[in-house]
Amino acid sequence: MDLMEEDVKCDERPIEEEPEKEGEVNITGDIQTESEEVVQFDGLLFVKSPTSEKHIRYAMKIHCPQLALQVRCVERYRSFHTLRKRLLNTTRMWLMSPKNDFLPIEKRCPECQCILSKLERLEFPRRTLFIPTREDVTARSALLHKFLNVCIQELMHWSGCMRGKKLFALVLGRFVSNNIYEHLIKEPPLSAEPYESILEEKADEPTTLEVDNTRAIVACEA
């Protein structure tokens, strides 16, 4: 969160309710079950700030051991809107990068293009000119929850290139205030056995000084 603000928990239970449907199929065509969801909607907060008008923030709990994520994200609608815009723009820029100029458009990482298409088709709440009603807030919270869950699911089961995965992880990690990319690039510790075998082989080989001394002895005997 970018501002130091006073959060006031919303006491109105109807706003916090999130309708769910069994066997619901998301816009990407992947079946989302409860066990697969890594994001849980955690309610609404009314925020009073001395520098901005009173507004609503949406709380999401993220639990994803695969990405080492255990955070509670509390952001307003504009932050989710910015996240979507950055993810789309970053993926488009990578697909149109000079590194891919030698490839035709239809061959520029089809998996990254598929992920971009999924995010573009995924339903996202639109901006409103007027103060959102209770129904608007309820519908918006459900769509934001689904959007964030799909983003993390795409990163968990990434099928595109590594460059696209890095950029996607950096943008998403900035939103949740967690360095996801650092966790992705961590490698398991290497065993010491290969190094010990190499040292043993090196110890058996003659050193440069030993070779020079042998040559000197042979020259003297000759």
DSSP 81: H
The percentage of residues in the chain with a pLDDT greater than 90, rounded to a whole number, is 28
Q: Give the model confidence (pLDDT) of 194-203 as tens digits.
A: 444 544 554 5
The predicted pLDDT at position 194 comes to: 45
Q: Give the model confidence (pLDDT) of 53-80 as tens digits.
A: 888 999 999 998 888 888 899 999 999 9
Dist CA 141 CA 59 (whole Å): 9
Q: What residue type is assigned to position 5 of the chain?
A: E
Dist CA 145 CA 17 (whole Å): 12
Q: Residue 144: name the closest of 196, 197, 76 by CA.
A: 76
Pick from 13-17, 21-25, 97-101, 138-142: least confident? 21-25
The predicted pLDDT at position 210 comes to: 53
Q: Give the chain's length.
A: 222
Q: Chain-wide mean pLDDT for the chain?
A: 73
Q: Give the model confidence (pLDDT) of 155-189 as tens digits.
A: 989 988 888 888 999 999 999 888 887 777 664 44
Confidence of residue 110 (pLDDT cuts 50, 70, 90): confident
Confidence of residue 98 (pLDDT cuts 50, 70, 90): low
